[in-house]
């Protein structure tokens, strides 16, 4: 399946325009605020707060560890920050530590409780393809980003909002030191439960993505999905959790 855009910036801005036109907040920012046009990841945040880690948001990214080579991924994105065991170390910024208001808690609770089932099934049915589930865990590095941490990665597909199957997607992978239990999940509920109990979880930053990776194309390609179609088919079912 293709999208009618070639860059994360263009697609994110168009989705943001559609989302805002429907009466929702959508502050569209690049993850790398110093490289607006070349940032490979963009966020649509449902609040004006630049400290956006705690929100569940829309992401558009060409990062190979999420999208796969040469693709654009868009969907729901939620993050788990670092745990209280590291607070006293003062090595990381205060806003990196997960608190009770972070949307991670509610999203995982709803995943475990089955509330996502109908939404994921609807999105899959409207796309005519499975929904992609991506999980990315790593130990973040504070300070200038000269070093890139090793990421543990998992990729699943889901059609019925319940059962998972490993995705036929090539992603770079580390040792699954955080995601060993999650790797064996066969349902969305099992995946959520394993992410709630990550070994040494205080040291792990975890990113969870629920969406779809698309081939890049252009607006002249009538077979490619434009921003309105992407919102209608994929993002509207997930809208209750984008907050």
| SS3 (DSSP) at 74 | strand
Where is average pLDDT lowest: 22-31, 89-98, 109-118? 89-98
Q: In the prediction, which pLDDT does 150 show?
A: 80
Q: Rounded to the nearest 5°, which phi and psi values hold at 218?
A: -140, 170
Higher pLDDT, 240 or 203: 240
| Model pTM score | 0.94
Phi, psi angles (nearest 5°) of residue 203: -90, -5
Residues sharing a CB contact under 8 Å with residue 234, sequence separation 6 or more, in sequence order: 74, 75, 123, 126, 127, 131, 211, 212
pLDDT of residue 114: 97
**DSSP class of 80:** E
Q: Which domain holds residue 177?
A: 2-241
Q: Supply the pLDDT for residue 85.
A: 81
Name the token pair of 149: 């941490």
Quote the number of domains for the chain: 1
> Which pLDDT value is given to residue 175?
61
Task: Note the pLDDT of residue 57.
Answer: 98
Q: How far apart are CA 57 and CA 42, in angstroms?
A: 10
Average the pLDDT over 224-243 and give the result.
97
- Note the pLDDT tens digit of each residue in 136-190: 999 888 766 556 778 889 999 999 999 999 986 656 555 657 898 999 999 999 9
CA distance 190 to 130: 18
């Amino acid at each position: 399946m293709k999208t009618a855009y070639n860059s994360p910036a263009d697609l994110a801005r168009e989705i943001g325009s559609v989302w805002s036109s429907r009466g929702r907040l959508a502050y569209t920012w690049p993850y790398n605020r110093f490289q607006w046009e070349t940032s490979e990841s963009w966020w649509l945040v449902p609040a004006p707060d630049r400290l956006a880690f705690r929100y569940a948001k829309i992401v558009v990214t060409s990062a190979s560890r999420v999208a796969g080579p040469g693709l654009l991924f868009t969907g729901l994105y939620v993050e788990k920050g670092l745990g209280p065991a590291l607070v006293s170390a003062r090595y990381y910024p205060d806003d990196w530590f997960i608190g009770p208001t972070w949307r991670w808690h509610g999203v995982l609770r709803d995943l475990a409780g089955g509330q996502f089932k109908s939404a994921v099934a609807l999105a899959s049915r409207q796309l005519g393809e499975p929904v992609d589930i991506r999980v990315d865990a790593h130990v973040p590095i504070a300070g200038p980003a000269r070093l890139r941490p090793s990421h543990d990665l998992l990729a699943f597909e889901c059609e019925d909002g319940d059962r998972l199957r490993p995705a036929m997607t090539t992603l770079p992978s580390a040792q699954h030191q955080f995601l060993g239990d999650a790797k064996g999940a066969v349902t969305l509920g099992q995946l959520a439960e394993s992410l709630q109990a990550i070994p040494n979880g205080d040291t792990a930053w975890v990113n969870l993505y629920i969406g779809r990776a698309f081939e890049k194309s252009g607006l002249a390609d009538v077979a490619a999905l434009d921003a309105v179609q992407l919102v209608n088919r994929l993002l509207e079912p997930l809208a209750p959790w984008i907050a």
